[in-house]
C-alpha cells in the first residue's frame, strides 16, 4: 500500500532580512526577520509526499530530476517529522505504522528554480506541509516552522501566508526560534509585489556561506544586529498592522541597504547588487520623489533581482515607470533613457 498527500508552499520575500546564524546546525539566526508571502497563483512549489514499505529509500524529485535526500538538513527535517508521526501513532493505535517507511517526495515549481527566487523556502515549506498532512500531524504552523527553519532559515516564514515574523529566540536548543503570523493577506489586500529578474544566473556566494563570512569578518554587522534590527523589527510590525505604506516601504528599503552594506563590509567583500540593481534603486527613489511621497519600495536578497512592493492603487504609476526603464535597458548607458524624462502615466 502507498500512502500519500499533497500540499503547496509559497515564496516569501524578506522586508527585514535574516542574515547571520548563531548556530549553523540548528539554523538559529542572529536577528529576527519579517517577510511578505507572495501569491501562490504565480509562485509556489507543489509537492506530493508518499510513503510505502515497498520503496527502497528516501528520494526527492524536483521538476522531474531526482535528488537523494541525504543532505544533513533534509535528513534532520525528515527525522523530526518522523518522530512527530511516532508520537501520533503511539497516541492512536488504530493508525497505520508508517513512520519508518521510506518517503518519496515529488515537487514541481511553477517558476524557474535558477532565478534566485527563494525556491528553497517554498520547497521546504511544501515538503513539510505535505508530509505533515500525510502523517496527520497536528497542524500548528509555528511548531512546523521550527522544523522548516532547520531545512533553510527563510523557509520557516513560508508556512503562514500574509505577513510573517521569524522571532529569533534566545534558547540554545532553538525551541523559541519560530515564525508567527503578523497579519493575514486580507488585512492589507492592496499590497502588491513585482519581481524584476535582472539575472537568472546562480548566485555568486550562497547565502549560507555568505552569512558565515559576514558574522566572522564584518564590524558593521554587530551594529546591525544589536542596534538597527531590534528597533526596526518593532517598527515594521507596527507599520504592517497600521497599513502605513510609507513607513513600511522606508524600513524595507533601509533594511535592504543595511543588509547589502554588511555584505560589502565582509572580508573579502560580497557583492550581490549589479549595475542594473543600482539603477533600479535610483529609479524607485526618483519615483518616490516625483510622487511627493513613498509609494514604492525595493528590496534585494542574495542576488541582483529586485522585488518592488507597492499598493495596487499606484500600480499604473509604478509599473509604468519600470516598464519604460526596462524597455530602454541597454540604452541607459548611451543616455537614450534618462529617468528624469520618463513619462509617468
Ligand atoms: C538574503 O534562508 O537561504 O534571503 O538558512 O542558510 O538556508 P539558510 O539561508 P537562507 O537565507 C536567506 C537570506 C536572505 C534574507 C531572508 O530571506 O531573510
Residue 197: per-residue pLDDT: 85
Return the best residue to mutate from 207, 263, 270, 271 for the ligand 1 pocket (most ligand atoms within 8 A of CB). 207
Which of 34-38, 100-104, 135-139, 329-333 comes out lowest in average pLDDT?
Answer: 329-333
**Percentage of the chain lying above the pLDDT 70 cut:** 92
Q: Is 248 in the pocket of ligand 1 (CB under 6 A)?
A: no
State how far the alpha carbon of 191 is from the alpha carbons of 14, 45, 51, 161, 201, in Å.
14, 22, 39, 13, 28
Q: What is the mean pLDDT of the chain?
A: 92
Q: Residue 131: is its pLDDT beyond 80?
A: yes
Which ranges of the chain would DSSP assign to H, the alpha helix? 72-91, 119-134, 141-151, 207-217, 220-223, 229-241, 245-264, 275-291, 315-327
User: Which atom in ligand 1 lies closest to the alpha carbon of residue 301?
Assistant: 1
Angle between helices 245-264 and 229-241 in degrees, nearest 10:
150
Residue-wise pLDDT tens digits, 33-59: 999 999 988 889 999 999 999 999 999
Mean pLDDT of 67-86: 95
Mean pLDDT of 144-172: 97
For residue 26, whether the previous peptide bond is cis, meaning omega lies within 30 degrees of 0, is: no
Which residues share a beta bridge with 165? 34, 180
Cα of 333 to ligand 1 centre, how many Å? 33
Q: Report the distance separating Cα 135 and Cα 293, nearest Å.
A: 50
Residue 326: per-residue pLDDT: 77
State how far the alpha carbon of 89 is from the alpha carbons of 86, 143, 200, in Å.
5, 18, 45
**CA torsion angle for 118, 122, 127, 129 (degrees, to 10)?**
150
Among protein residues, the one with the nearest Cα to ligand 1's atom 6 is 208
Residue 139: per-residue pLDDT: 80
Q: Residue 333: is its pLDDT beyond 50?
A: no
User: Which atom in ligand 1 lies closest to the alpha carbon of residue 12?
Assistant: 17
Q: Is 18 in the pocket of ligand 1 (CB under 6 A)?
A: yes
Return the best residue to mutate from 153, 229, 298 for the ligand 1 pocket (most ligand atoms within 8 A of CB). 153
DSSP helix/strand/coil, 241: helix
Mean pLDDT of 302-318: 95
Q: Is 165 in the pocket of ligand 1 (CB under 6 A)?
A: no
Q: Report the distance separating Cα 177 and Cα 229, nearest Å.
A: 16
> Residue 252 has which C-alpha cell?
524595507
Cα of 233 to ligand 1 centre, how many Å? 17
Cβ density class 168-178: b for 16+ within 10 Å, e for less: bbeeeebeebb
Residue 111: per-residue pLDDT: 77
Mean pLDDT of 220-246: 98
By C-alpha distance, which of 89, 125, 4 is closest to 55? 4
Cα of 66 to ligand 1 centre, how many Å? 24
Q: Report the distance separating Cα 121 and Cα 10, nearest Å.
A: 8
Q: Is the four-CA dihedral 205, 206, 211, 216 of positive or negative sign? A: negative
Cα of 19 to ligand 1 centre, how many Å? 7
Does residue 120 or residue 174 have the better pLDDT? Answer: 174
Q: Is 263 in the pocket of ligand 1 (CB under 6 A)?
A: no
ipTM of the complex: 0.99
How many contiguous H segments (helices) and E segments (strands) does the chain have? 9, 14
**CA torsion angle for 38, 41, 42, 43 (degrees, to 10)?**
60
Q: Report the distance separating Cα 172 and Cα 160, nearest Å.
A: 25
By the 10 Å C-beta count (0-12 exposed, 13-18 middle, 19+ buried), 321 is classed as buried
Amino acid at each position: 500500500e502507498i500512502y500519500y498527500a499533497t500540499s503547496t508552499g509559497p515564496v516569501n520575500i524578506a522586508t527585514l532580512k535574516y542574515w547571520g546564524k548563531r548556530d549553523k546546525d540548528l539554523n538559529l539566526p542572529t536577528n529576527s526577520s519579517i517577510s511578505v508571502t507572495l501569491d501562490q497563483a504565480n509562485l509556489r512549489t507543489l509537492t506530493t509526499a508518499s510513503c510505502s514499505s515497498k520503496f527502497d529509500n528516501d528520494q526527492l524529485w524536483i521538476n522531474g530530476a531526482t535528488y537523494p535526500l541525504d543532505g544533513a538538513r533534509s535528513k534532520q527535517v525528515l527525522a523530526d517529522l518522523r518522530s512527530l508521526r511516532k508520537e501520533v501513532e503511539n497516541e492512536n493505535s488504530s493508525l497505520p505504522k508508517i513512520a519508518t517507511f521510506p518517503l518519496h517526495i515529488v515537487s514541481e515549481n511553477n517558476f524557474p528554480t535558477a532565478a534566485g527566487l527563494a525556491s528553497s523556502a517554498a520547497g521546504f515549506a511544501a515538503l513539510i506541509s505535505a508530509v505533515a498532512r500525510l502523517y496527520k500531524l497536528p497542524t500548528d504552523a509555528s511548531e512546523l516552522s521550527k522544523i522548516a527553519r532547520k531545512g533553510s532559515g527563510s523557509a520557516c516564514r513560508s508556512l503562514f501566508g500574509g505577513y510573517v515574523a521569524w522571532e529569533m529566540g534566545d534558547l540554545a536548543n532553538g525551541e523559541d526560534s519560530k515564525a508567527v503570523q503578523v497579519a493575514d493577506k486580507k488585512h492589507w489586500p492592496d499590497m502588491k509585489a513585482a519581481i524584476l529578474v535582472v539575472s537568472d544566473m546562480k548566485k555568486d556566494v550562497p547565502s549560507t556561506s555568505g552569512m558565515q563570512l559576514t558574522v566572522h569578518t564584518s564590524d558593521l554587522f554587530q551594529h546591525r544586529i544589536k542596534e538597527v534590527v531590534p528597533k526596526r523589527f518593532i517598527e515594521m510590525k507596527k507599520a504592517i498592522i497600521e497599513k502605513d505604506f510609507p513607513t513600511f516601504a522606508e524600513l524595507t528599503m533601509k533594511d535592504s541597504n543595511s543588509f547589502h552594506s554588511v555584505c560589502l563590509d565582509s572580508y573579502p567583500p560580497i557583492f550581490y547588487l549589479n549595475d542594473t540593481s543600482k539603477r533600479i534603486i535610483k529609479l524607485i527613489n526618483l519615483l518616490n520623489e516625483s510622487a511627493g511621497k513613498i509609494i514604492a519600495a525595493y528590496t534585494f536578497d542574495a542576488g541582483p533581482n529586485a522585488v518592488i512592493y507597492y499598493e495596487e492603487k499606484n500600480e499604473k504609476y509604478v509599473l509604468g515607470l519600470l516598464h519604460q526603464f526596462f524597455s530602454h535597458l541597454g540604452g541607459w548607458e548611451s543616455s537614450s533613457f534618462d529617468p528624469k524624462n520618463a513619462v509617468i502615466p
